[in-house]
């Protein structure tokens, strides 16, 4: 359930025996929705926030017709290829991650094309984030399980905005503390609270305090 590329990246990670913080990137560390909306506007498209999804919600400004799933996938892939290098951090994310790194091993687990992985690494490095980036596809639970097992460290936190990735983490690694980070209220309103998360939040001040309490 893990691609060979993802598995190779996980196997190359170095661990110190400290607690783990595994963190998503898009819409958790860096702005995705804001920049993606700007990107598709140039294509005469807009993002309908009527539900928590991209498929079916990217519409033509002229006709209001939703784009096909293939077109949406193409737009997302093109966006990552052209904009990843220049994405901007969400308020509080950098300081929180750097503080986590003083007490834990921090791994950034991101679903984007593997071909854009180095662009993501350079972008995060530009923002002062020195942590390893693992690119993934599909559910994140198997990758999280593999990271935790390789680290041989039971104390771990996973932070993500996607309810499906949070659910996947709970399925495959129920021992991991889950932080559901929903920065954009337009999408957060559609997501029912998940009973198995240790924190649901939309800001890094609250997430930072919660995670530090766990890893300290």
Residue 168 has pLDDT above 80, yes or no: yes
Average pLDDT, the chain: 96
Rounded to an integer, what distance in angstroms lies between the CA atom of residue 144 and that of residue 6? Answer: 11
pLDDT of residue 55: 86
pLDDT of residue 62: 95
pLDDT of residue 142: 98
Q: For residue range 23-48, what is the model confidence (pLDDT) as tens digits?
A: 999 999 999 999 999 999 999 999 99
Number of H helices, E strands in the chain: 9, 8
51 neighbors 35 (Cβ within 8 angstroms): no
Please, which residues have CB within 8 angstroms of residue 213's CB and are 6 or more apart in sequence? none
Rounded to an integer, what distance in angstroms lies between the CA atom of residue 120 and that of residue 129? Answer: 11
Residue 130 has pLDDT above 90, yes or no: yes
Q: Is 195 exposed, middle or buried (0-12, 13-18, 19+ CB in 10 A)?
A: exposed
pLDDT of residue 206: 98
9 neighbors 146 (Cβ within 8 angstroms): no
97 neighbors 23 (Cβ within 8 angstroms): yes
Position 1 confidence tier, pLDDT thresholds 50, 70, 90: confident
Sign of the CA dihedral with 165 first, then 167, 168, and 172 last:
positive
4-31+87-215 CATH, one of 3.30.710.10, 3.40.50.1000, 3.30.1510.10, 3.40.50.12780: 3.40.50.1000
pLDDT of residue 170: 98
Q: Residue ranges per domain, the chain?
A: 4-31+87-215, 33-86
Rounded to an integer, what distance in angstroms lies between the CA atom of residue 144 and that of residue 158? Answer: 8
Residue 14 has pLDDT above 80, yes or no: yes
Position 51 confidence tier, pLDDT thresholds 50, 70, 90: confident
């Amino acid at each position: 359930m893990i691609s060979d590329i993802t598995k190779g990246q996980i196997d190359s990670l170095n661990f110190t025996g400290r607690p783990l913080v595994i963190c998503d990137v898009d819409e958790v560390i860096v702005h995705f929705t804001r920049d993606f909306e700007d990107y598709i506007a140039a294509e005469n498209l807009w993002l309908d926030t009527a539900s928590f999804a991209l498929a079916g919600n990217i519409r033509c400004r002229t006709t209001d017709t939703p784009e096909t799933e293939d077109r949406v996938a193409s737009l997302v892939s093109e966006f990552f290829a052209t904009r990843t290098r220049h994405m901007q951090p969400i308020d509080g994310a950098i300081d929180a991650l750097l503080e986590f790194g003083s007490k834990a091993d921090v791994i950034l687990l991101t679903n984007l094309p593997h071909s854009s992985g180095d662009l993501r690494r350079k972008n995060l490095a530009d923002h002062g984030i020195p942590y390893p980036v693992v690119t993934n596809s599909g559910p994140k639970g198997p990758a999280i399980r593999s990271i935790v097992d390789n680290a041989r460290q039971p104390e771990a936190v996973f932070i993500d905005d996607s309810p499906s990735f949070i659910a996947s983490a709970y399925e495959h690694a129920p021992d991991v503390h889950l932080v559901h980070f929903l920065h954009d209220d337009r999408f957060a309103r559609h997501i029912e609270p998940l009973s198995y998360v240790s924190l649901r939040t939309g800001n890094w001040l609250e997430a930072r305090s919660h995670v530090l309490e766990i890893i300290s």
